[in-house]
Amino acid sequence: MKYSEWNNLSDDDKKNTHWKHHPRIRIATIFSILFALVFIVFMLRVLQNRRVHVNRKPNRKEAFAIAKVFVNDELKQPGTANFPKNVFVADIDTANNNYNISSTVDAQDSTGHIVKSTWQVKLSYTGGDWADRKSWKLEDVKITK
């Protein structure tokens, strides 16, 4: 039933008409179904992305991202660390899941001065989600000023 038809009904007819035929109920039903479909498509895309992380080995940029986490753990003031965006060297042995990543970091030392340091991290990928630090075994971290 359309709103124009609903407005032309008498009060008794409106009371006797089944609630399913009310125009607002139909619009709410249509929007609820559309919302459910969009939500299902969104969740399928999210779950598909999670599977992509687990079923493949990390690339250079992903290894660099997790290496920065391990370097932050070694810094005296990790909140002041400033890493370069994409300036790093990666030596990857995918057969043995070994990753050697090196780059620089600007961070405050114990005296409060900003110091540029070079760092090198040796990691072994143990499997799972590359973004989870439990999926990595830290072999060695070297930070030199």
Segment 40-97, tens digit of pLDDT: 999 888 777 655 555 678 899 999 999 999 999 998 888 899 999 889 999 999 889 9
CA 104 to CA 40: how far, in whole Å? 43
Q: pTM for this structure?
A: 0.61
Least confident range from 15-29, 57-71, 112-126: namely 15-29
Segment 3-16, tens digit of pLDDT: 677 677 787 877 77
By the 8 A CB rule, do 60 and 87 touch? no
